[in-house]
Homo-oligomer: A and B are copies of this chain.
C-alpha cells in the first residue's frame, strides 16, 4: 500500500514546549508503530520548504501562517490538524477548502487544566490575590476564609477545559453548575443550563470559570452588566480566551471591590506589553497562558491523540475534535 504523506508545519515563534521536533515525532511513532508505518513524514519550520511539501501532502499537522489559496497549494490534503485547542486565531474560515477536514487539539489539556483550576479556586478562596497585594505593600492583614466545601462554581463552557474546571470544583467539594450551548448533562456538573439562563445563574456563583471558545457569540460574554450580577465576594477565573470577558469592566470591578478577586491565564495581546493597566490591577493574579499545557509531555499527549484520530482516518470513521466552521470552534 502506498504510504500517506504527512506534513508537519512547525513555527519557531511558538514556545519550545509546542515544537514537534524530530525526536518527539520519533518517540510518538515508536508508541504507534503500525500506524506510523503507513506514513511518509516531512517537516518544515517557519514555512521553509512548506509549499513543496504541501503539493503532495495527504494530511497535515500545524496550520500554515500563510493560508491563502490552500486548495491549490495542497490539492491532495484531506485532513489538517491544528496543534492548539483554540481556533479563534484562524477565524474567519473563508480560507478553509470545503472538502478539507479541520481538527483541533482538544483533549490534550484536561489533566493540567484540572490542576490549574484547583490552584485558582483555592487561591481565590483564601484571597491570595489580596494577600499578594498586601505583601507588595508590606502590610500584615489577617484575612480568614471559609471552607470551599459547599460553595458554588459556575463553569461556562463544558468542553475539555470546562470539564476539567468542573472536575476540580467537585474534588474540592463544591457544587458545580455548568453552562453551554446545549443543556446536555455533564457527569461532573450538578446541573447544566444554556447561555440564555446565564443572567439568573451569575448571582449564585462563588466562582465563575470561563472555559468557552472565543467566537462572535462569546466575545464579551461576560460584560460590565453581567460582572455586575456577580456576588461581591465572588472570584473569576479565565483559562479560555481574554476577549470572552470585558477586561476593562473587570478591572473596574476589582479596583472598586465589586469582586473578590480574579485569576487570568489569558490576556490580550500576548505577550502582555509592559504598559498594560492589567499588570497592577488590585486583587488580580496573571499567569502567562500556561494553565493547560504540560511542559514535559504536551507534544506527546497531542501526538497520541492525533494517532488515535489517524486510526479513525484509516478506517474511514468520523474524526474526533472536528472543528465546525459554522460554529467557529
A262 to B299, CA, bound (A): 29
Residue pair A290, B111 in contact (C-beta under 8 Å): no
CB pair A290 B122 closer than 8 Å: no
The main secondary structure of chain A at its interface with chain B is: loop
From the candidates B116, B136, B275, name the one contacting A126 in the complex (CB within 8 A).
B116
**Nearest-CB residue, chain B, relative to A301:** B147
Chain B neighbourhood of A132, CB < 8 A: 132, 285
Q: In the complex, are the beta carbons of A287 and B128 less than 8 A apart?
A: yes
Query: A283 in the interface, Cβ–Cβ < 8 Å?
Result: no
A250-290, CB under 8 A of B: which get 1 and which 0? 00000000000000000000111011100110000111111
Question: Which range contains the number of A residues in contact with the other chain?
Answer: 35 or more
Tell me if B17 and A288 are in contact (CB < 8 A): no
For A128, the chain B residues whose CB sits under 8 A away are 119, 123, 285, 287
> Of B119, B122, B140, B290, which is within 8 A of A271 by CB?
B140
Establish whether residues B279 and A131, one from each chain, have CB atoms under 8 Å apart when the complex forms. Answer: no
User: Interface on A for B, CB 8 Å cutoff?
Assistant: 15, 17, 111-112, 115-116, 118-119, 122-123, 125-126, 128, 131-132, 134-136, 138-149, 171-172, 270-272, 274-276, 279-280, 285-291, 293-298
